[in-house]
Structure 1
Amino acid sequence: MPRVLIPLAPGCEELEAVTIIDLLRRAEIEVITAGIEPGPVQCSRGTRLVPDADLDEVAEDEFDMVVLPGGQPGATHLDRDTRVHDLLARQAAADRWSAAICAAPQVLASTGLLDGRTATSFPGAIDGARYPQVQLVEQPVVTDGKVVTSRGPGTAMDFALHLIELLMGPERRGAVEAKLMRPA
């Protein structure tokens, strides 16, 4: 069973975080949520999430994928956390997946994971002048190598389903998606 880490920062976008957590767990992927600060995480719209662990408890563990929810100031908090940058660098060095949605692709950019890659994000989250080596596109979900990026809350379900497909294959994605009653 694949293992996925989802770091949660104060001010993260709850729609993205919960959608990703929920759909990956429906696919029977082991999901570990880890707060970058102790205790419950207050999200951008006031929802409080209780992480499974503190980031320090799992930061040295191996994961098949690390997924960063966006939202502000959540993405900024993730970007300022050296443990998150270290995790992402280890993921890249081990040729494992890293993914981010909304404003969180800025963390991938500042870690260098988007250098020479095509990516997407919430409009303005990645400063093209600061990161000219990143090819920014306006697509819902973009995969380039072992890096996946997505636009924002409205693309969270497509993003999570794509992550399921990458980790478990198209049949598992289809099985999860069929039960969601999404319009054709």
Structure 2
Amino acid sequence: MTKQALVFLSNGCEETEAVTTIDLLTRAGIKVTTASISSTREVECSRGVTILAKKTLSDIQYIDFEVVILPGGVKGAENFRDCPLVIEKLKQTHQSGGIVAAICASPAVVLQHHNLFPHAGMTGYPTTKDAFKNWKADRAYFDEPNKVITSQGPATSIDFSLKIIDVLLGRTKAAEVAQQLVLPLGIESYQ
């Protein structure tokens, strides 16, 4: 059965984190749905890149996903934080046994702000370290008991994506995708 991932998009979200995650999960054979949290599918990211989401938030409200993903970018994370339907979707995903994944500003601005995983170890953009009770310095970190994956920023987008693939499909699939990428030193290759 094909795994399904939801990547939320918001004006001001970080495009490298969004696109890298979408691309690598797709390479792994995961069905990725992108959803704008506004009423239009067009999203202007933090550096001015425009992404056309496949869906809007209202289109996916009642669909279950194995993982729900929040890219970072301060403005994008603030938009996620302030959207009750996004927070509800994160809670529903967690309660149904799915994984919540967030990168960069989103772990602090969204997950910590709403106290969604009070006991989970997490990482995020390094300047947000003080927002966390259980900070992890890893480039990408999976808190298995709480089913939450977090990562630090644009340059750790590959680590983040490979960790999601590893958790959903296993180490062999993560290694297969990693092998296609010509990874720099420091990124886990899953070999």
Give the TM-score of the pair, scaled to structure 1. 0.93
Q: Which residue of 1 aligns with 2:14?
A: 13
Quote the RMSD (CA, aligned, Å): 1.3
Counterpart CA distance in 2 for 1:149 and 1:54 is 24
Counterpart CA distance in 2 for 1:14 and 1:174 is 24
> Does the 8 Å contact 2:123/2:141 carry over to 1?
yes
Verify: 1:137 aligned to 2:139, yes or no. Answer: no
Counterpart CA distance in 2 for 1:95 and 1:111 is 19
Q: How does 1:48-127 map to 2 (within 5 A)?
A: 48-106=50-108, 107-125=110-128, 127=130
Give the residue type in structure 1 aligned to 2:122: A
Q: Which runs of 4+ in 1 moved over 2 A?
A: 110-114, 123-128
Counterpart CA distance in 1 for 2:130 and 2:90 is 20
Counterpart CA distance in 1 for 2:111 and 2:78 is 12
Give the TM-score of the pair, scaled to structure 2. 0.90
- What is the percentage of aligned positions where both structures have the same residue? 37
Aligned residues: 180
| Runs of at least 5 residues in structure 1 that lack an aligned partner in the other structure | none
> Does the 8 Å contact 1:4/1:64 carry over to 2?
yes
Give the residue type in structure 1 aligned to 2:37: I
Displacement of 1:126 in angstroms is: 5.9
Counterpart CA distance in 2 for 1:183 and 1:151 is 17
Counterpart CA distance in 1 for 2:35 and 2:128 is 23
> Does the 8 Å contact 1:109/1:126 carry over to 2?
no
